[in-house]
Amino acid sequence: MSQFLKDSKRWLPGALVGIALIAALFYFIDFRTLGEAIRNANYAILGVSAILSFVWLAIRAKVWQTLLRDKPRYTDVLLSAGEGYLLNNFLPFRLGEIGRAFLLSRKSGIQVGEILPTIVIERTVDLAFSAGFLLASLPFVVGSEGSERIGYIVGGLVLFGLVMMYVLARNNQWALDLFHKWSHRWPALQKFGGNFLESFFAGLGVLTDGWLFLRFLFWMTLNWAVALVSYYLITLSFFPQAQPVWTLFILGAAAFGGAIPALPGGVGTFEGAISAALTLLTGDQSTSLAVALTARVYNYLNSIVVGGLGLIREGQSLPDIYHELLALRNKKE
């Protein structure tokens, strides 16, 4: 019971935010219009977009493998990525991020501490792309002056984070020496922390390898290009008048919505961000929600297929992985 109360401090605020947004969405939408929008959607276009969602995941795995200096096999990276997204969709605390590092470590033998910084870099650059999309789309969106300031703030924080990671990567020995100097009174912490930091800095090394970082940016750019096309097709299937620039605004808003603490998989915040962005562009709340729900289904589709295949291959289940990750987290605490 005490553990439940302790954990509730982490998941309860996000759960309340997600539930409140879900309640607001269903309060304001017209279910009849929502049903008509789903029935009248262009399913041929939606089929192409569904295929692209798998292409997106395949390229995302290549992004991650590049950050890992091509050490693990591509198949292992792809399945671990799918498993991680599956965990994020259904488990609390964003355990999918730690989970995919943990699962890939078991497959490849690479230490978790070396894998984790690649996920941090990946997510940081994701935010940079999202902020760029939002800023690029703002001149075309009416009444969004306040969002511009948010985009600049997030873009600045992302840039600062990348610079700090680069500084740590270039001065890792100094940082390690400083840690050992401060932690000499606690031998257990010094031993565990030293091993972890060595692996962590090894993962950050990608920032100091210019050619490797350029390869990473190429795959990441291609990955986002596929996401833009996929989301544009989803939007076009419901709104025939949709413009490509709408997708920039939608993806930018969805990324910021996903940064808000919420239920597993960003349930509520993800749909709320996409619906709000599209409603601002079209004035049609119900059809906008249909677009958001379709995007949600696609997120579940590729993670369930690829992640489920990975779990079956390893003879694991979501509860098994969840308990292993909780044990790992509690051990660190």
Q: Going residue by residue through the chain (333 aa), what tens digit of pLDDT does each one get?
A: 444 445 545 545 555 655 666 676 676 777 888 889 999 999 999 999 999 999 999 999 999 999 998 999 999 999 999 999 988 887 766 777 888 998 999 899 888 878 888 888 888 788 778 877 877 777 666 555 555 565 566 567 666 766 777 777 777 677 767 766 776 676 666 655 556 566 566 666 677 777 888 898 899 999 999 999 999 999 999 999 999 889 988 988 887 766 665 556 567 678 888 888 898 888 888 899 899 999 989 988 999 999 999 988 888 777 778 777 766 666 555
8 A C-beta contact, residue 99 and residue 83: yes
What are the residue boundaries of the structural domains of the chain, listed by start? 30-332
User: Would you call 170 exposed, middle or buried from its count of C-beta atoms within 10 A (0-12, 13-18, 19+)?
Assistant: middle
Q: Cβ neighbours of residue 96 under 8 Å, at least 6 residues apart?
A: 83, 84, 85, 86, 87, 88, 89
State the pTM of this model: 0.77
